[in-house]
Amino acid sequence: MNLLQSMTGPIVPIASHHLVLVTGPSGAGRSTTFHALEDLGYEVIDNLPISLVPRLLDGPPLDRPIALGLDVRNRDFSAAAAIELIDTLTRDPRVTLEVLYLDCAPSVLVSRFSQTRRRHPLTEAATAAEGVERELDLLAPIRVRADHLIDTSDLSPHDLKAEIVDWFGQGHTARLAVSVQSFSYKRGLPRGVDMVFDCRFLANPYWVPALRDLDGRDPAVAAHVESDPIFVPFFLRLQELILLLLPAQLQEGKAHLTIGFGCTGGQHRSVAVAEKLSKVLAEAGWQVSKRHRELERRGTSPAPDGISGETGVGRG
């Protein structure tokens, strides 16, 4: 525990845990809130039994704040137990506590359950309206203890995310994490890719014996790909398109974007283009990571830039 010696008083502990307690009725936007907090760097823990929260805080302090979900689905949930937890954490000098309550109009909650056709957690055979009413009554004592109350009745997911960033960003500037990947069409598209570009029209280094066993990170392979007369106009337009779209994707509320480049073997052309675009985006100030799926799959030795990969025979 960190300690601070007062010149006129006893040694007192310094708060070592920043904890945001997230609660509110089911359907009010807790999942969207957790996604936004994760993007801000929070450690998100949902549905932890109330009785285990003190044990969580007895552990070593994290280097980032914690967002803890608390709702009627918690195994030992009750309004009295939740209020007691809030009081205990408020008195704990190790903890800086904020309680966020996501509120929503009953009619909107019922409409959301009707649209998703999900059963309300407090209902068996009862209607969603009855479950919403019971839950709001149960949470009323917790609502009045909230430090932050956000009414999500008229908020879209993007609007709610913007509210979370305003309240809990701590000077955080929203950023878009860009992943640039190469792959082989023979093994299918990577999961979760947002944009895909086919590089199979470019000059193929596989047909040059001296380049066949190298990969697109090698300067000689990159030079061969770039020697194709269509490469320069292609890459200029690609670069302009991506740099145009990234700010729009960020404004739309995306936190992660994956751009895929494919070729026959995933070794030469797609790797070379992915490497070149990654460098351009990084120089433009974007947060960029790279992945070469087929090189990782074959790889046994680290690549010069830290990406593992092994050169091997394949139609790049």
Give the model confidence (pLDDT) of 225-281 as tens digits.
999 999 999 999 999 999 999 999 888 777 788 999 999 999 999 999 999 999 999
| pLDDT of res. 222 | 97
| φ/ψ (deg, to 5) at 131 | -65, -40
Q: What is the CATH number of domain 3-168?
A: 3.40.50.300
Q: What is the C-alpha to C-alpha distance for residues 207 and 310, in angstroms, rounded to an integer?
A: 19
Task: Return the domain boundaries, the chain.
Answer: 3-168, 177-298
pTM above threshold 0.75 = no
**Residue 214 pLDDT grade (very low, low, confident, very high; cuts 50, 70, 90):** very high
| pLDDT of res. 307 | 33
